[in-house]
């Protein structure tokens, strides 16, 4: 039988992942998440085992020496050794074995004390064994399979000793057996659910990490593509113009026009590079900064062509650092739209609305120009905008009936 956590299979009984690699990663995760708690649990278990020894002279005066020998000569040094070992590297690989033997040794100590106690007390000493059982299942971070083997071993030993050695009366024997088995079954259920939950949490974190790494890789690839398409194209044009002007000056005409074009392309390349760098270094940037970028760029590029520009921005909810891919593609769409306004629209006014909500972003760009011709748009501007919107999962609506209105809706969830 198997359990499924996402795409990972797990044995129903042992709760081990089928993949040895995933199981190994989980064990490291389990150790790192549990080690401090385990040390506290061991200290607490040591305290209880030692502290109850002070009651031995009053509860089992005839077996005090045997009890103290077990408590202070055998168990105390061993659990102290385990606690000290937990601060060394080798403990990680032996952790479950150490904890397993702590439970076995503690429980067997109680069973041996039962043998040496008088009938009035040894019939009731099973309560100490129940404490060990519950401690094993719920507090010590002993994995389900190890806790189950250790505690059922103790219960079977107790049953054999009680029936064959102590000769416990039938009524006490049945009573103690009932409570020990019940405690064990309850403990097993709790421990099983705890480990399943722990493993499920591990898979969730592993999945989140994998998705994060995948997203970062996708962002890296998209940024590289963006740089190639943007700055790469500009630098290619500069290189070609320079090479042609040097080798075939008769084809380029006035060199001053060529130099002016190269200068404009260089400024555009610097602007592109600055935009990418600013977004990559976005630890202190938020959507308010993005809105400011829209305002600054729009004002500069449109005012130089005599086009009136107004913008309304609204940022609600947490203004976290913008996602790199969303930022770049949304800004590219915005720049492409304004470039189209300048080249093709003959507009006098441009109105921008930017609304960032908790669940989505809506960017609206409207101009009062001639709109989109009946035969369709010229160039590849609108096609590029649609492609960039698709890359970030956005919806883009372009209406060219009365002027041109472009609405881009980007989901953030």
234 C-beta neighbours (distance < 10 Å), count: 20
Higher pLDDT, 403 or 121: 403
Burial 66-96 (b: 16+ CB within 10 A, else e): bbbebbeeebbebbeebbeebeeeebeeebb
Question: Quick one: pLDDT at residue 371?
Answer: 85
pLDDT at 98: 96
Q: Do 286 and 320 touch, CB atoms closer than 8 A?
A: yes
pLDDT above 60 (res 252)? no
Question: pTM score, two decimals?
Answer: 0.61
Q: Is the pLDDT of residue 282 over 60?
A: no
Other CB atoms closer than 10 Å to residue 219's CB: what's the count?
16
Within 8 A by CB and 6+ apart from 390, the residues are: none
Condensed to tens digits (0 to 9), the pLDDT of residues 19-43 reads 899 999 999 999 999 999 999 999 9
Return the axis-axis angle of helices 170-227 and 324-340, rounded to nearest 10°: 30
Distance CA 155, CA 160 (A): 9
Level-2 CATH architecture, domain 285-413: 2-Layer Sandwich (3.30)
**CA pair distance 88, 82, nearest whole angstrom:** 10
Residue carrying the six token digits 């008088």:
118
- Confidence band, pLDDT 50/70/90 cuts, at residue 245: low
Task: Answer for the pair 150, 107: CB distance below 8 angstroms, yes or no.
Answer: yes
Confidence at 84, pLDDT banded by 50, 70, 90: very high
- Domain spans in the chain, listed from the N-terminal domain onward: 2-213, 285-413
């Amino acid at each position: 039988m198997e359990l499924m956590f996402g795409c990972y299979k797990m044995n129903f009984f042992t709760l081990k992942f089928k993949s040895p690699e995933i199981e190994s990663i989980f064990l490291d995760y389990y150790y790192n998440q549990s080690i401090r708690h385990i040390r506290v649990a061991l200290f607490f278990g040591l305290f209880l085992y030692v502290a109850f020894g002070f009651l031995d002279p009053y509860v089992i005066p005839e077996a005090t020496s045997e009890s103290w020998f077990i408590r202070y000569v055998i168990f105390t040094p061993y659990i102290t050794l385990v606690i000290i070992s937990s601060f060394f590297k080798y403990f990680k690989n032996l952790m479950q074995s150490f904890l397993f033997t702590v439970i076995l040794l503690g429980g067997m100590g109680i069973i041996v004390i039962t043998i040496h106690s008088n009938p009035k007390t040894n019939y009731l000493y099973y309560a100490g064994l129940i404490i060990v059982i519950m401690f094993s299942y719920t507090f010590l971070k002993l994995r389900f399979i190890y806790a189950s083997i250790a505690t059922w071993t103790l219960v079977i030993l107790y049953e054999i000793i009680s029936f064959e050695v102590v000769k416990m009366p039938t009524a006490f024997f049945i009573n103690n057996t009932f409570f020990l088995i019940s405690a064990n079954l309850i403990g097993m259920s709790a421990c099983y659910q705890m480990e399943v939950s722990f493993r499920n949490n591990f898979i969730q974190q592993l999945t989140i990490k994998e998705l994060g790494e995948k997203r970062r890789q996708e962002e890296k690839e998209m940024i590289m593509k963006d740089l190639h398409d943007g700055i790469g194209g500009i630098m290619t044009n500069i290189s070609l113009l320079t090479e042609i002007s040097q080798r075939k000056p008769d084809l380029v005409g006035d060199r001053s026009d060529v130099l002016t074009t190269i200068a404009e392309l260089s400024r555009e390349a610097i602007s592109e590079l600055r935009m990418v760098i600013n977004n990559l270094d976005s630890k202190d940037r938020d959507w308010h900064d993005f809105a400011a970028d829209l305002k600054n760029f729009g004002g500069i590029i449109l005012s130089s062509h005599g086009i009136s520009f107004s913008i309304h921005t609204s940022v609600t909810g947490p203004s976290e650092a913008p996602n790199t891919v969303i930022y770049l593609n949304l800004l590219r769409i915005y720049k492409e739209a304004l470039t189209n306004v300048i080249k093709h629209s003959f507009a006098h006014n441009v109105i921008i609305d930017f609304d960032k909500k908790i669940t989505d972003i809506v960017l609206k760009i409207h101009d009062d120009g001639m709109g989109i011709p009946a035969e369709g748009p010229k160039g590849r501007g609108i096609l590029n905008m649609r492609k960039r919107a698709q890359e970030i999962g956005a919806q883009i609506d372009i209406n060219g009936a009365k002027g041109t209105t472009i609405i881009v809706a980007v989901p953030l969830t």
